[in-house]
Copies of this chain bind each other. A is one copy, B any other.
């Protein structure tokens, strides 16, 4: 059984490395960019072609699995029964378009809704974060990661999405004030890499399943808490206001949420 997952892992790593080469090559040509829900929610030809490529590869690796993909080339899911792969072909599309940097490919593998393996690939730095319960740890390429220090909110930096801060959703401004500072990197995958590396203690953002599926698996493997902003489990089939944080910082942030409710 363990060997089966090891082999699956090797196939996913190989698939992602090939996908990276293709993306780097296509980035040499002009992108085709379109707006989705609004002018800041973008999709490019590469988001689409890379999702198609990844899903085709997943179907070869795991023919009976179902796949949920951001750009809609997977299956329409109403439950998480059996093996489900959740795919974000380019996370941080605005960074991808404007910076050609600071974006990620992400894959999360679930079995009956339970975390198995997660992958966040920092494409430009060529660092693949891979791991989960089925591998018994998390690796950044060959380097095994240690669990981030359990910092209190005041002791570390918190990642956030810009709109949450500006509109002060979920007491974001009070949370930032209580922290050591706010950072905004523009990609859920890049934010989660910072938490895995112990460079941020948390991240708060509205996230779709493909934004958080891989990170949830990797983060929880290292003891980082992943919940909704009010401490409930995520609904992995829908959008959530997600709170990722060290145990202590999660407690501090839930206290800020609770204090306000009691006003």
Contact = CB atoms under 8 A, between A and B. Distances in A.
Contacts of A156: 98
Given A98-B199, A156-B98, A199-B99, A185 B183 contact: yes
A101 interface: yes
A165 B181 CA distance: 12
A100 B100 CA distance: 24
A51 to B, nearest CB: 22
Contact of A186 (B99, B102, B157, B176): B157
B94 A180 contact: yes
Contact of A99 (B99, B102, B157): B157
A72 interface: no
A95 B159 CA distance: 13
A98 B157 contact: yes
Interface in A135-189: 156-157, 162, 165-166, 173, 176-177, 180-186
A99 to B, nearest CB: 4
A40 interface: yes
Nearest to A181: B94
A78 to B, nearest CB: 33
Total copies of the chain: 2
A186 B183 contact: yes
Contacts of A177: 166
A126 to B, nearest CB: 14
Contacts of A181: 40, 94, 98, 162, 186
A199 B96 CA distance: 10
A101 B162 contact: no
Contacts of A186: 157, 181, 183
Nearest to A97: B180
Interface string A36-55: 00001000000000000000
A106 to B, nearest CB: 20
20 contacts: A40-B180, A94-B157, A94-B180, A98-B156, A98-B180, A98-B181, A99-B157, A99-B194, A99-B200, A100-B199, A101-B199, A157-B186, A166-B173, A166-B177, A166-B182, A181-B186, A183-B184, A183-B186, A184-B184, A185-B185
Interface of A: 40, 94-95, 98-102, 156-157, 162, 165-166, 173, 176-177, 180-186, 194, 199-200
Closest 8 CB pairs of A and B: A99-B199, A184-B184, A162-B182, A166-B173, A98-B157, A94-B181, A183-B184, A183-B186
